Amino acid sequence: MKIGKEYLYEDLKRLILIMELDPDQDLDEVALSERYSLSRTPVRDVLRRLAGEGYLDIRENKGARVAPMNYTTLRNFFLVAPMIYAAIARLAVQNFRKEQLAELKECQELFRAASSEANVSGMVLENNRFHEIMGEMSGNEYLRPSLNRLLIDHARIGNTFYRPQNGDMMQRLKTAVEHHDGFIRAIESRDEQAVVDLVFDHWELSRENMEMYIAPQAMEPNAFVMAEQNCCGKNHEI
């Protein structure tokens, strides 16, 4: 069991991803010190680390706050996410190690179980970890920070669409699980084209879910689709 600074680090990440801490929410160093039985110095170290990874913003003379989600951040998310995901997936096929593939399969079973139990927090966290592992498989120090920043907002948005409200959404969750299985098969067989095609299918599913529940009309989500096509090409070439 992780204790001290490492526990604070992991717990704050978890609380941000499952939206127990809201975007823009201020964090109180004194309250965190008391809650986690740490002095102010290790708390500040953790907050700086999380800020460096995109979970928090630290403002001079104002302290730390949870990274915001606003028009600008969501617009940028929609524009670049499919390109980053596709590049990561292609590199994962090229560079994965057997132990990483085993970890991906184990994570998928946890995601499958959370989906069958309609465990929203479990689905959010295991889906996030699934795609983090794919980032680790890529072995690319330039793309991974971008991927991890995207996954923060993807997870936070996911808290909305992982709450099944009708049969159509249940089918979408089932499709998401099937896509994960497909990623594993494509990576294991080192099929780059299959994994990239699947990225775009998976992204389209996610994009539709996001638009259904959180995208304001002013964002004109169809414009994002056109931007994706223009950036990525009709043949999904990266």
The pLDDT assigned to 228 comes to 47
Q: What is the pLDDT of residues 140-172, one digit of tens each?
A: 999 999 999 999 999 998 887 676 665 677 788
CATH 1.20.120.530 in the chain: give the residue spans: 71-232
SS3 assignment, position 219: helix
C-alpha–C-alpha distance, residues 75 and 94, integer Å: 30
In whole angstroms, what separates CA 222 from the centre of its chain?
Answer: 22
Question: Which of 2-11, 159-168, 192-201 is predicted with the least confidence, judged by mean pLDDT?
Answer: 159-168
Nearest to 140 by CA among 175, 89, 91, 201: 91
Question: Which of 75-89, 128-142, 159-173 is predicted with the least confidence, judged by mean pLDDT?
Answer: 159-173
**Regarding the domain with residue range 71-232, which homologous superfamily does it belong to in the CATH classification?**
GntR ligand-binding domain-like (1.20.120.530)
pLDDT higher than threshold 70 for residue 173: yes
The pLDDT assigned to 232 comes to 53
Contact 54, 113 (CB under 8 A): no
Question: What is the value of pTM for the model shown?
Answer: 0.84
CATH 1.10.10.10 in the chain: give the residue spans: 4-66
pLDDT higher than threshold 90 for residue 82: yes
pLDDT higher than threshold 80 for residue 113: yes
CATH 1.10.10.10 fits domain 4-66: yes
Q: Which residue has the tokens 């950036």?
A: 231
C-alpha–C-alpha distance, residues 163 and 179, integer Å: 19
How many C-beta neighbours within 10 Å does residue 218 have? Answer: 6
C-alpha–C-alpha distance, residues 154 and 24, integer Å: 16
